[in-house]
Amino acid sequence: MARILMKGNEAIAEAAIRAGATNYFCYPITPQSEVAEYLVKRMPEVGGVFLQAESEIAVANMILGASCTGKRVFTSSSSPGISLMQEGLSYMAGSQLPCVVLNIVRGGPGLGGILPAQSDYFQAVKGGGHGDYRLLVLAPSTIQEAVDLTMLAFHLADKYRNPVMILGDGMIGQMMEPVEFPDSYSEPELPPKDWAATGASDRDPLIIRSLFLDPTTLEENSIILHKKYEQAKKEEIRFENYKVKPSNKVLIVSYGTMARICQTVIDDLEPEGYSVGLFRPISLFPYPEVALRKEATRKNIESVLVVEMSMGQMVEDVEKAVAGARPVNFFGRTGGIVPTPEEVKDQIKKLIKKKSRRGRPAKKRK
């Protein structure tokens, strides 16, 4: 298929269709409404269901209901709308129901603004709803990667019978880039959906639920979920290195489109003699902890710089990975302001200057 120019929201919508999504429920919100505008045209072409609900709370319950049938279900929203869906997502995780949720993040808290942000990291990664559950979270940095990860997300949702979230900052939804879709879609084989409620004419009825009044059964359910997340930590770690090499003095950790700004920074600083690498987590849960620790503790690395479009929500995961072996610094802008390459460059220059002037006092003192 020829490469075409697509807006992130459209490309993700098309990727959902290609991955076999046949049920899409939504409620419009900027900056992701193009997903719905695209799917209202596309869903009928594949015999699927498009339904605009009366609210995001209704959407979450509709994807729950549709998922019970074993069909691939999809929804998309932006920050405040995703907040409204949290109860339903918790129910789905508790009921072991797959779905794919796209969050094109805008500035918050509250109604906030419509410009890009990464300030829903905690909500996405730490479990935005109640109970012992996690979402699997994938963060694309290009439109092509958004396409690939969306298709993967449907597979992972079925593999783990758990909601999977694509976390894209507003830029991912709104910018346009050339993309290519595979001519045919294939994925590793999945176990049969023997849990799906597809009609009980020739078998005993199935009950899909998250209500377990007996504490032992409820605990057992949480242990089942926990084991799945432990499996995901082994099998679903995804990240990418950019110009990570032995000469690096600073390692940037950044995800999504913010990481692309950091790439520009790294390229610009290279001829000036600054050696900087970028570690870009792609799976935000499970977090690529071990890989990050390995890159951050290379011999010449003096410090780690986390760069985000938030007040520093990912910092604690980086600190956990680095475990005190290197100082972890942070730079970010929020509220819809995107850090410029110049701002990030200044931060790196300050770090490297400070370091070379003082050497490594913390170690010498001991």
Partner 1 sequence: MTSSENRFRTPVFDREVVVIVGGFGSGKSEVSVNLARVLAQQGDKPVSIGDLDIINPYFRSREAAEVLADLGVKSLVPPGSLAEADLPIIIPEIKSAIQKRDGLLILDVGGDDLGARVLSSLRDAFSADSYEFLMVLNLRRPFTSTVEGSLSVIGEIEDAAGLKLTGIISNTHLMDDTTDEIILEGLEVSREVAARTGLPIKFVSMETSIAGRFDPRKINLPVLTLNRELLKPWEQRR
Which residues contact partner 1 by CB under 8 A? Answer: 2-7, 10, 14, 30-31, 34, 37, 41, 113-116, 170-171, 174-178, 257, 260-261, 263-264, 336, 338-341
**Sign of the CA dihedral running 123, 124, 127, 128:** positive
Indicate the residue among 132 and 268 with the shorter CB distance to partner 1: 268
Least distance from partner 1 to the Cβ atom of residue 324, Å: 32
Indicate the residue among 181 and 287 with the shorter CB distance to partner 1: 181
Ramachandran category for residue 335: left, alpha or beta (phi over 0 → left; psi -120 to 50 → alpha): left
Least distance from partner 1 to the Cβ atom of residue 283, Å: 22
The secondary structure of residue 45, as a DSSP letter, is G
- Helices 315-322, 289-296: inter-axial angle, 10-degree rounding: 70
Least distance from partner 1 to the Cβ atom of residue 32, Å: 10
How many Cβ atoms from other residues are within 10 Å of residue 117's Cβ? 28
Residue 240's nearest CA partner among 180, 280, 298, 199 is 280
Indicate the residue among 37 and 187 with the shorter CB distance to partner 1: 37
Tell me the three state secondary structure of residue 287: coil
Contact 67, 97 (CB under 8 A): yes
Least distance from partner 1 to the Cβ atom of residue 2, Å: 8
Indicate the residue among 131 and 341 with the shorter CB distance to partner 1: 341
Contact 266, 277 (CB under 8 A): yes
Indicate the residue among 176 and 311 with the shorter CB distance to partner 1: 176
Indicate the residue among 67 and 103 with the shorter CB distance to partner 1: 103
Indicate the residue among 17 and 68 with the shorter CB distance to partner 1: 17
Q: For the chain, where are the E strands, in sequence order?
A: 4-7, 21-26, 49-52, 72-77, 99-105, 136-138, 163-169, 176-179, 239-242, 250-253, 276-281, 283-285, 303-308, 328-332
Least distance from partner 1 to the Cβ atom of residue 109, Å: 18
Least distance from partner 1 to the Cβ atom of residue 270, Å: 15
Amino acid sitting at position 143: I
Q: Which two tokens stand for residue 242?
A: 């950019």
Pairing of strands 303-308, 163-169: unpaired
Indicate the residue among 240 and 302 with the shorter CB distance to partner 1: 240
Least distance from partner 1 to the Cβ atom of residue 338, Å: 5
Least distance from partner 1 to the Cβ atom of residue 30, Å: 4
**CA angle 178–172–67, rounded 5-degree value:** 105
Cα–Cα distance between 293 and 322 in angstroms, integer? Answer: 5
